[in-house]
Chain A
Amino acid sequence: MRHEHLRAEDIIWTGEEGKRLNHMDFLADAGEAVGLIGLTGAGKTAIAEVLCGEKAAASGQIWLNTERAAAEQLAGNGVLIQRGSTLLENLSIPDNLFSLGRPAPTSSVWIQENKQRRQCKTLLAQFGMEEYLDASVPQLPPSVQHRLLMVGAVGRGKKFLALDHLSDGCTLQEQTLLVNCIRQLCGQGITVLYITGQIDSILQQMDRITVMRDGRRVKELFRGEYAKATLYTYVYGYHMDLPVGGVEVRRAGIPAFALDGCDFRTNELVTIHDEDGSTEALVARMEALSVGRISVLSADSLSDCWIPFMSVLDNILLTVSRRIGGPTCHVRGSVRRVLLKECAAETGLTDEQMLAPFARLTRIERFRLLLYRVRLLRPDIYLFNRITAGVDFCDRESITQIVSRLPGIVLYLSSDYAELETFGTRILSLTEGRLQRNKQ
C-alpha cells in the first residue's frame, strides 16, 4: 500500500516571461513513477523546480509526507536531473557520487577514500552499474551519466527524482535501461517524476500521468486508463485526428548516386534508422566520394549557428556576405530590403520579427529560418540528424512537413523508428556503419 509522498496545491509561480504555473496541483505517492506531459511552455520544468526546492512558489502549499514543507526541505528531499546535466568530468565516479551533494555528504572534513569507494561500489552494484566505478567520466555517454546521477542522488538520501526530458535523443536500448533504472528506484520507495513533451515508450510505463497545459494540471490518468488519442486531446486542449499513413511524394525521382547497394534520388525523402552513429560513417563516405554539397542539420543547429542578440535579418546577412565573398562592412539598403522581403516570404516571419533579436523566435520559426539560410548555400543533400530531439510532438509534425517539401536529396535520421514510419518513401536501417535493411 503506497502512501502519499508529495502533494502540491494551488501553486503559482511567475518567471521572467510571465506566469508559468497557474494554480497547479500535483500528487505523487511514494515509490510511484509519475509521467508529466505537456507542450513547450506548459510549465513542466517549472513545477519540477518548485517540487525540488530550486524555486520558491509565489503562493500555494506543498506537503511532503503529509507535512507542510518549505523550499529548503524540498531541496533536501528531491533533485532535478535535466537533459544537460552531467557528471563533473575531472572527478572520479565515487567523488561525483559521494563527495558532492546536498545535504552535505558528511560532517567530516576528510574524505575516507576506501570507505567511499566501497560505498560507491555497493550502490552501483544495486543498479547493475558497478562496471562504471573506475570509468573515465568524459567517455561516458550522457544517458549513462544521467543514470549515474540518479543513482548518486539516491546514495545521498534523495527520495524524489525529477527527470527532465532525459530520454530525448536516446536509442531504444538506452530508453530500456532508463526504464529499468526508474523501475528499480521505484521499487526502493523513490518517487520518480518523468517529464517529457512526447508520448513515448517510457511515458507509457508510468504508473500515473499528469497532463499540463498553460501552467496547470488538466488531467490525471492512471496506467491502463489512457490511449494516445486521449493524451493528444488533453495536451492540445481539443480533439485532433492523428496522422495516418505516409506523406505523399510530390516529385519524380531521378537517380543521383548509389552507395552500399542503396541508390539515393533527388527530390526524395529517405528516413534513416540508426542507433549506433552509423550515419556519420555514411556521411564521411559521401564526402570522400564527393557526391555533392552536404548540409548536416541537427537539433543543436537551431541555436548554435546563430548570434542570439543580433536581429534575424543581420544573422541572414552574415550568411549572404559569406556567399558573396567574405564579410562586408556595409550592406546596401537595397540588399537589405530584397533580403527582408525574400526571407519573410520563405519563412512566414513578419517584418517586425525579422528586425527583432533572433532569441525571440520560437523553435519552429528558427527551424524555418535555418532551412532558409541553408538553402541560400544551395546544398545537394540535406541530412537532418535527430533534428526533433527534445521537440514536442506538435512541432515534430510541422518540422517533418517542412522537411518533406524540400528539393534535393533529403535524408532524415532518427533513432525513433515509430516516428520514421509516418513519412518518407523508405526507411534505411543502418548498423555498424552498414546498410541492414531498405524498407519501402
Chain B
Amino acid sequence: MKITLKRFEYREYAPVAILALLLGVAYFTVAGFDRPQIYLNILKNASYSGMMALGLLFVLICGDIDLSIGAQMSFYGVLFGLIVSKGGGIPLAAAATLAAAAALGAAQGVLVGRYRINSMIATIATSVTLSGLTYILAGGQPIFDLPTLPVRAPVRLLGISLPALIWILVAVLAALVLRQTYWGKFFYAVGCNVTAAERAGVPAERTKMVAFSLCSLCCGICAVVYISQLGFSPLEAGQESTNSVLTIAALSGVSFSGGRGRVIPILCATLLMSALTSVFIVLRVPTYYQNCIKGVIIFAALITKIEKR
C-alpha cells in the first residue's frame, strides 16, 4: 500500500501570503509605509482583536463557537472600570475581572460540554444577558474618572506598545499550549471526533470547559488592557469585535467544524485586517468602500477553502 505523508496545509497559510503581498505592494506604492512607525501602529491596532481571536481559536478547534465575545468584552470592561472607580486598585480589579471571565467561560463550557447545548445558542443567550448586565452595572452611563489608571502609559519594548507586547505573549502561550502540551492535543481530538476522543480517554467535557474558559479569559485580558489604555469604560467596547474576530478566524483557515487551526495563521490574519485598515486610512478610502473592499478580499482568501467535489 502506498503511504502518503502529511500534506502541507496551504489553506492555513493563505493569510501569510496575502499579508506579505499587501505589505510589499504598500511599501512601494503607499506614502508612509516605508516608515517603521506605521508597522508598530498596525501591530498595536491588531492586538485587541488578535487577543480575542486567539481565545476563540481554542473554542473553534473544539468544534464549537462563541458568539458572546463582544458582549463579554464590554461587560468585563465595565466590571474592571467599576472596581477601579470604587477605589479597588488596578491589580485587584484586573484579578477580579479575569477570575469572573474564567468562571463565566467555564460555565459556558459546562452548558456546551456536559448538557450538550448547541454552543451557538448558549453563547447567544450569554451575549444577550451580558449586554443587559453591562448597562445595569454601569447605570446606563460610561464610567469616567478612572484616576489610578496609567492612561496611555508609555510602556514600550523595542518600540512595541504594551497591548502588542501582551498580545505577543498570549500568542506564544497559546502556541505552546496547542503544540507542546497534552491538553493542546485534547482540543484537536475533541474537535475532530468527540466520540473517538472520549473512547481514547480524552475528558471531552472538561476540555470544552477549559476551551471556553480560555476564550473568556482572553476577552478579559483584552478588556483590562483596552480600558487601561483608554482611560474610561465605554458601554460598548466590544460591540463590533465579534464580527471582526470571526472574520479573522475565517481568514486564518480555522475549521469551523473543529479539529483544525493554528496560532501563526491567526496572527497573520489579524495583522492583515489591521494592515488593510491602515492602507485605507492612508489612501483616504471612504468607509463604505473600505467595507466592500475588505469583503472582496475575504472572499478571495476563502476561495482557497473551496473543496473539489
Contact = CB atoms under 8 A, between A and B. Distances in A.
* Bind each other: yes
Interface of A: 80, 85-92, 95-96, 99-106, 108-111, 113, 131-132, 134-136, 139-141, 144
A96 B188 CA distance: 11
B62 to A, nearest CB: 12
A96 B200 CA distance: 9
B5 A135 contact: yes
Contacts of B259: 88-90
A91 B258 CA distance: 12
A102 to B, nearest CB: 3
Contacts of B6: 92, 134-136
Contacts of B188: 88, 90-91
B192 A109 contact: no
A180 B138 CA distance: 70
Contact of B200 (A101, A136, A144): A101
B201 A136 contact: no
Contact of B185 (A99, A103, A108, A134): A99
Contacts of B309: none
B158 interface: no
B205 to A, nearest CB: 14
Contacts of B185: 91, 95, 99-100, 111
Interface string B123-148: 00000000000000000000000000
B197 A88 contact: yes
A413 to B, nearest CB: 21
Interface residues of B, number: 26
A106 B185 CA distance: 14
A90 B260 contact: yes
Contacts of B115: none
Contact of A85 (B5, B199, B260): B199
A105 B259 CA distance: 21
Given A110-B180, A136-B4, A136-B5, A101 B196 contact: no
Contacts of B201: 100-104
Contacts of A105: 182
Contact of B197 (A100, A109, A111, A140): A100
Nearest to B188: A90
A111 B3 contact: no
A139 B5 CA distance: 9
B183 interface: yes
Interface of B: 1, 3-7, 180-186, 188-189, 191-193, 196-197, 199-202, 259-260
Nearest to B2: A139
Contacts of B5: 134-136
A109 B184 CA distance: 10
A108 B197 CA distance: 20
A140 B293 CA distance: 42
A45 B180 CA distance: 37
Contact of B181 (A85, A89, A111): A111
Contacts, number: 78
A100 B189 contact: yes
A80 B181 CA distance: 26
A134 to B, nearest CB: 5
A89 B3 contact: no
26 contacts: A85-B196, A88-B200, A88-B259, A90-B259, A90-B260, A92-B6, A95-B185, A99-B185, A100-B186, A100-B197, A100-B200, A103-B201, A104-B182, A104-B201, A105-B182, A110-B180, A111-B184, A111-B185, A131-B3, A135-B4, A136-B3, A136-B5, A136-B6, A139-B4, A141-B1, A144-B1
B193 to A, nearest CB: 6
Highest count of chain A CB atoms <10 Å: which of B185, B188, B192: B185
A91 B196 CA distance: 12
Contacts of A104: 182, 201
Given A85-B199, A88-B189, A100-B202, 16 more contacts: A85-B196, A88-B192, A89-B192, A89-B259, A90-B188, A90-B259, A101-B201, A102-B200, A104-B201, A109-B181, A111-B181, A111-B182, A111-B184, A134-B5, A134-B6, A139-B4
Nearest to B202: A100
B4 A110 contact: no
Nearest to A111: B180
Contact of B192 (A85, A91, A131, A135): A91
Contacts of B189: 88, 91, 100
Contact of A86 (B180, B186, B196): B196
A74 to B, nearest CB: 14
Contacts of A100: 185-186, 189, 197, 200-202
A414 B248 CA distance: 49
Highest count of chain B CB atoms <10 Å: which of A100, A110, A139: A100
A144 B199 CA distance: 18
B3 A132 contact: yes
A95 B185 CA distance: 7
B1 to A, nearest CB: 8
Contacts of A95: 185
A86 B194 CA distance: 11
Contacts of A89: 192-193, 259
A90 B259 CA distance: 6
A106 B182 CA distance: 9
A120 to B, nearest CB: 14
B260 A109 contact: no
Highest count of chain B CB atoms <10 Å: which of A88, A110, A140: A88
Closest 10 CB pairs of A and B: A102-B201, A99-B185, A100-B200, A90-B259, A88-B192, A101-B201, A135-B3, A90-B192, A136-B6, A88-B189
B196 A110 contact: no
Contacts of A102: 200-201
B287 to A, nearest CB: 39
Contacts of B192: 88-91
A99 B189 CA distance: 10
Nearest to B258: A90
A348 B4 CA distance: 49
Contacts of B200: 88, 96, 100-102
Contacts of A103: 201
A147 B159 CA distance: 55
B183 A109 contact: yes
A135 B185 CA distance: 18
Contacts of A86: 193, 196
A417 B189 CA distance: 38
A88 B193 contact: yes
Nearest to B7: A136
Contacts of B196: 85-88
Contacts of B202: 100
A104 B206 CA distance: 14
Nearest to A144: B1
